[in-house]
Amino acid sequence: MLVLTRKPGEKIHIGSDLTVSIISISENQVKIGIDAPPEVKIYRSELYEKLLESNLQAVDGAKSSDIKSLSALKNIKINKNADRE
């Protein structure tokens, strides 16, 4: 991994169209600004990993479920929620 030391207000260019700016730092937080083309997806890693895990589980679930047995969906109702506004 490439490790660079930067000060608040300084930037890093990644390739020609990606810029990472150090906006501010405090005791245990860094505020980072990212300029990237819209097709570059940017996620907080912990969220991305959770969503990835959830998708993998869904694929596994579909593999192991007996798709036809789901018609046993009687006596059960959809957990319809009033929208929270």
Partner 1 sequence: MKIESKQFGEIEFDESIVYKFKDGIIGFEKLNEFILLNSEDGVFFWLISIEEPEIVFPLFPVRPLFENYPKDKGYEPFGVVNLSKNLEEITINLKSPVYIDTKNKKGYQSILDDDTYLINYNLFIKE
Residues forming contacts to partner 1 in the complex (CB under 8 A) are 39, 41, 43, 47-48, 50-52, 54-59, 61-65, 67-68, 70-73, 75-81, 83-85
Query: Given the complex with partner 1, which of 2 and 59 has the nearer CB atom?
Result: 59
Beta partners for residue 25, in sequence order: 30
Query: Given the complex with partner 1, which of 7 and 77 has the nearer CB atom?
Result: 77
Contacts of 12 (CB under 8 A, 6+ apart): 4, 6, 19, 20, 21
In whole angstroms, give the CA distance from residue 9 to residue 19: 12
Q: How far is the CB of 76 from partner 1 (least distance, A)?
A: 5
Query: Given the complex with partner 1, which of 7 and 68 has the nearer CB atom?
Result: 68
Question: What's the full length of the chain, in residues?
Answer: 85
